[in-house]
Every structure is written in C-alpha cells, then in structure tokens.
Structure 1
C-alpha cells in the first residue's frame, strides 16, 4: 500500500452474513478474497464487523469460497436484520461497532445494511472518515420478498436515503439506477461490483456458429442463473410463458442453475404441463457455469429485484442473446427492445416469440461487446483511483487538523 500513511486500519461494516466452519474459518460468495483484497490498496489491515452463520462441509463444497487473507479479522455480531434483532441486539452491536471504530482510521460501509446504517451514525458522531458502497435497493428487496417484508420496506428505504445522502464518498454498482433512487451530495462514482477476465474472441465465434447451425424444430434452450427458492427471482413467469408457447407448437426448454428448494417451481412446471421442459441443474461450481452458458441459446433475467446482476453480465460475456426485466441495473445492460415489465408473462411470451436467428446474431454481438465494459483491470483501475481520492481527502483533513491544533497551541503561549 502506498497512499501517504502507514499502518492504516480499515473497518468494514455490513450485515453479511459470512459463513463460519467448525474450525473458525470464514467463507462467502460475493464476500470473498477478491472483494476484500480491493481494500488492501488503501489499508494495511481490515476488520469486518458482520453477522455470521455456521456452515457445513457440503455447503462449502457447493458454492462458498474460503477467505484466507493476511491482516484480516472478523468481529461477529448478532443478526440485526429482523424485528427481534433490532429490539434485543442493537445496543450490543452498537457497542461493538463503537469499540472497533475507535481502533480504526476509516470505515468502509456496504449498503443496504442495518449494521451499515448504524456504523455511519456512530462514525459521524465520532468524526471518523468513511465511504459507502451501494450494492442494492432495500425497497425492492423487502417489498418483493414477503408480506412481512412490505412492513419494513419503507423504513429501510428512508434509512438508506439518509445514509447515502450525506456520505462524503459513495461508490455505486450501477451507472444510473441506484444513483437516481439514493442520491449523494458527496463525491460519487459508478463502478460495477461485477468484473470479468479479458474476453476471448473465440467465444463469440463459437456462439455465432452455434446460432448459424440452429435448425427449425430444434429445442431452444433458455437459461437463468439464480436461487430457485426465492420467488422474486421470477423464474415462474418464464415457466408460464414457455408453457403457452409450447402449446402453440414452439419448442422451448428452460434450464435453471441455482440452489435452494425447487419444489414450488417444480410443482408449477407440472401444473403448466412443462415438467419435462424445465431442467433443474442445482448449484453449479463457478468453473462449470460457463459450460452451462455455452449450452443455452438465450439467457433471461426475470427478477423483480436486482442491483446489477453478475449472472447476466457473465451470460453476455459468452455471447448469449439476453432478455431481462425492468428492474435495478438490468436496463443499463440490455437492448431496450428486449426488456419486459417485471412479472409480465405476456411480455416474456411475446419477446420469445419474436426472437429469430437474425435477432440472435445481433444480440450475441451486442452482448459480447457490452460485457467488455466489465473488464476486471479497467474496473479495478477506476475503483482504486476512487479509493485513493478518499484516502487523500483523509490525509488533507488530518494535515489541516494538525496544523490548526499547532496554531492554537502557539497562539496560547
């Protein structure tokens, strides 16, 4: 690290959770080595105040990656993201955060999160520097989650608005959507949390060859990568749409990659007469995801809630012609003609009916080119520049403070 200060200690605040095994090792999915390593560009050590859950060996093998960074520690807190948590755990968590803030030079606050909101309140009261990273929308997440979720959607929305509005520095994972909904008066940047290795042009060539060799009557394979036990991911609308299409003589299969209890979607597929057309692949190891994406013909992201979906960007990086719902950052990625209102079976039906080989050729090229914007090196350079601006502002502030303190002392002599 070379940002003008030695031994900088960062505090990372987020609801999480991280997973913990019986030996005390921590694991995550999006919260992984790559993500936490970014912060070592501006910090010598990182402490994460975050809730944790126990994990078994089967879960580790399926989708979680071990966090094994040096100078990284976890301070586990009780869960706050529930009514009981807020009522009975808030005071304890507040004390933990306050103690850790006093040991740190600055905070990295990931939002939306209740721990994040609380840490900002404390940081401001202690005049401690912080920046926020906005990775999702609590309104969409809670409103589309359940009836109980609807009760806390509005309070969560306003809490997030307040946290982001006065942040001195804010990084958004979208370019437009989250910025419009949660405005910030400070310095801001749009920089996706999704990053890809350099793309190989041979991937696009194979995709175009695949499209060229499609024959009338061959099954058209649609794919979605998302948990199958979360209704707001929207797979049910695709199942209903292909049922209607297949009854009219089309031949659509639907491949679902993702973990969770599949019983609801499975019963729905049976009810709509496409149980043999809906294929549940379960959780795929990351190295197998690209093989699955190369096998499908069209990717669809039918979610009712999203930030900027990694699964969609990865599909586009394989040249997949892609459709998606009008939510979150999805419209920033796709051809506006291939976007449908969330939850609209009829619009999905009409779009799938419209797509032909000519459109697939055009969209394969478009997807591949758009995915290049998520090149890991380009995004990392943009992100690190932003981090260094933040650290420079801390150094300038500290220099001014020290100078003022010196002048006060000299003036009192």
Structure 2
C-alpha cells in the first residue's frame, strides 16, 4: 500500500540525506511503517546544522521524501502540480494538521477521491494568534479552514482527550491518542524523585525548567522569566533552565529588563536521552505555553515524577491538577502557583507519575494501530 504522510514539518537535510528531529525520529517512523508499506513523507526541509548532525540520526532508508524549501513554495503552480501528482500516486494518506501543505493537499485528496485520515495535533487559532501581528490576521482563516475539513473528515486522531475535540469536532470516526513516546514506566524513577525531595535542604536553590524552542514567543518562557523577580522579592532563590535550540536574544533581553539575568540558564539542545537525565536534576517542570495540543515534553516530565505547573493553554489542564494551572501570560499568577507546588512537591511527584501511565507506549500504540486498521 503506497502511503503518504503530509505535514509542514521541516526535516533537516544535507545533500540528499534527511535527518530526524524532535518528534520526528525513528520511533515516529516506526509507528507508520508497522501499519503501512511504502512510507513516503511530503513536508518541508531546512539545511542541516552541526547540532542536528550531532544529535540526530538519518531517517531510515526505506522512507522516501518529497519536500519543499518553504511554505511559500505551495503558492507556485509548479509546486501545486507536484502535490497533486504525489497524491494521485498514493493509495492512502495521513494529513497532519494544522499545516498549510496539509490544507492544500486536502483539496486534491477530495478531488481525486483518495482515502485519508487527519491527525489533529494543535490549535491553529492559538498558535497563530500568539505568534505575531500577521498571525492575528491569519488565525481566524486557519481556524475556519481546519474546522471545516475536520468536520467532514472520515477519520480523525486527536492528541488531546477533550480540548481539540471540542474546538474542532468531526462527524467521522475519531480517537484520542497522544504522539508522546515514553520509556517504560519505572517505579525506581519515582522512588529516586521522592528521595530527592525528602533530602532537600530548606534553603536550597530551586531549579525549574522548560524544554521547548527558545526562539518561539508562544512557548511562553518570557512570562516565567518575568515571574522570577517576584519570587526573588519573596525570598526564593530560583534558577530557570531552558533546554532547546533557537534564538535566545529576546529571552535574554527580558531577563535583563526584569533583573533576572543571573537566574536564567540556557542549556542548548540536548539529545533525547539527555533530556530525561536533565529532568531528573530539576525540582519543578514548567509548561508556560501560550498555545498547545498535548505537550510531549510535559508528559515526559510527568513520566520522570517531576512536580509540574503549566498554563491553561490547550490540553495542559488535561495533564495537571487545577491547583497547578495558571492563566497563560499571567506571570503574577504563575508565582502564586509556583509557591503552592513548591510546598507539595512530594504529593505532585506521585500524582504525576501515575498520570503518565495513561500515556505508556504499548497502550497508545495498540489504540492507534486498531484505528489505523479500521482506516485501512
């Protein structure tokens, strides 16, 4: 069966070789290879940098690509013809939304009467509205386009349990199934976390952390940095560690403005296994996003027994208790939630570790494979 996966994701490329990146690695590929043959990806590409070659593996040789240098390419007649030809040669398709290539492709998918499934992984309204002034103009357009195509889609996989389903309902068949890929749940991890909490000194420095692209303002790290000054004035010694690539100049400027520069530490890009090691060293994980589907990084933190707090964006409230949620952008409310979480770290570690069990790989993959089989 000739299967085509469509999304805007930018795969690092060097000459004719494609590299894996966060969320699109070998495990991501295996999910589709075990269910479909002749796996082909239609997406974008970017020039591979040194850190991608260092931390990423090459995409498996049995996966083929058709990629474009930018989203603007899809406006060209030649590119649209190429998209239509690729769809025509495919027997079934999975379109991941939100994505511009995905929406363009759906027009040809329907025209050619090809069987398709949609994966809904985020909210375009929230993502674009919090991105830029131009984003505020595009947000309602993308929102309506996605809402309309999902409503009529025959099969939809949502990464959330409620949020995306309520905002983008479908008449077709659907399931809730996160994209997260967790290591096997290990009770020793929880015990080590509890020992770490119980042996803390009263006046120790509190390490909080976020794993996300540093250059994307909609990830919300700037609001955590603003809150550091409030916590400092209350007598807390807090260090905020940020894992991830991207341009850090904006966040550094916020840190200087709010007198918190020495309290912010940029960790750079870490390999996936190093992220789990890093999670074990921090005291509280923070998911400050302005827009989200169901954040993989937060689920991974719960899997390590991390006490965690997050904004009210997207599916974050589905993962955390109400007392650990603050209104997005409100750094003052963040400071209040932080204080409560810091007092209840042991209770939160146990609660979060148990919550992560709902996202164990074998449970998710079994549910997804059953749904894929219905689609096939």
Which whole-Å CA distance do the structure 2 matches of 1:336 and 1:39 have between them?
Answer: 35
Change (3 A) 1:128 1:181: same
Residue 70 of structure 2 corresponds to residue 79 of structure 1:
yes
CA contact (8 A) 1:20 1:27 kept: no
Change (3 A) 1:65 1:341: farther
2:47 is matched with which residue?
54
2:231 is matched with which residue?
245
1:78, distance to aligned residue in structure 2 (A): 4.9
1:142 is matched with which residue?
128
CA contact (8 A) 1:33 1:69 kept: no
1:270, distance to aligned residue in structure 2 (A): 2.3
Which whole-Å CA distance do the structure 2 matches of 1:292 and 1:29 have between them?
Answer: 16
1:340 is matched with which residue?
326
CA contact (8 A) 2:163 2:314 kept: yes
Change (3 A) 1:77 1:251: closer
1:77, distance to aligned residue in structure 2 (A): 3.0
CA contact (8 A) 2:150 2:168 kept: yes
CA contact (8 A) 1:300 1:324 kept: yes
Residue 346 of structure 2 corresponds to residue 361 of structure 1:
yes
Which whole-Å CA distance do the structure 2 matches of 1:35 and 1:287 have between them?
Answer: 16
Change (3 A) 1:112 1:244: same
1:140, distance to aligned residue in structure 2 (A): 1.0
CA contact (8 A) 1:14 1:116 kept: yes
1:374 is matched with which residue?
359
Structure 2, unaligned runs of 5 or more: none
Residue 148 of structure 2 corresponds to residue 170 of structure 1:
no
* Structure 1 segment 190-209 matched on structure 2, within 5 A: 190-209=176-195
1:13 is matched with which residue?
6
Which whole-Å CA distance do the structure 2 matches of 1:201 and 1:285 have between them?
Answer: 23
CA contact (8 A) 2:2 2:38 kept: yes
Does the residue aligned with 2:156 lie in a helix, a strand or coil? Answer: strand
Higher alpha-carbon deviation: 8-17 or 30-39: 30-39
CA contact (8 A) 1:28 1:67 kept: no
Structure 1, unaligned runs of 5 or more: 1-7, 392-413
Which whole-Å CA distance do the structure 1 matches of 2:16 and 2:34 have between them?
Answer: 29
2:87 is matched with which residue?
101
1:45 is matched with which residue?
38
Q: What do residues 96-137 of structure 1 show as CA deviations (whole Å, max 9, x unaligned)?
A: 122122222111111111211122221112211111111111
1:57, distance to aligned residue in structure 2 (A): 3.2
Does the residue aligned with 2:9 lie in a helix, a strand or coil? Answer: coil
1:66 is matched with which residue?
58
Which whole-Å CA distance do the structure 2 matches of 1:154 and 1:222 have between them?
Answer: 35
1:94, distance to aligned residue in structure 2 (A): 2.4
Which whole-Å CA distance do the structure 2 matches of 1:59 and 1:48 have between them?
Answer: 19
Per the normalisation by structure 1, the TM-score is 0.87
Query: Which has more radius of gyration?
Result: 1
1:41, distance to aligned residue in structure 2 (A): 3.0
CA contact (8 A) 1:29 1:65 kept: no
CA contact (8 A) 1:13 1:107 kept: yes
Residue 103 of structure 2 corresponds to residue 124 of structure 1:
no
CA contact (8 A) 1:78 1:93 kept: no
Match of 1:317 among 285, 297, 303: 303
Change (3 A) 1:125 1:39: same
1:179, distance to aligned residue in structure 2 (A): 0.7
Q: What's the C-alpha RMSD, in Å, of the aligned pairs?
A: 1.6
Which whole-Å CA distance do the structure 2 matches of 1:280 and 1:49 have between them?
Answer: 33
2:28 is matched with which residue?
35
Match of 2:244 among 258, 279, 283: 258
Does the residue aligned with 1:52 lie in a helix, a strand or coil? Answer: strand
CA contact (8 A) 1:308 1:330 kept: yes
Q: What do residues 346-396 of structure 1 show as CA deviations (whole Å, max 9, x unaligned)?
A: 111111223344x111100001000111111111001000000111xxxxx
CA contact (8 A) 1:223 1:296 kept: yes
Which whole-Å CA distance do the structure 2 matches of 1:332 and 1:73 have between them?
Answer: 36
Does the residue aligned with 1:17 lie in a helix, a strand or coil? Answer: strand
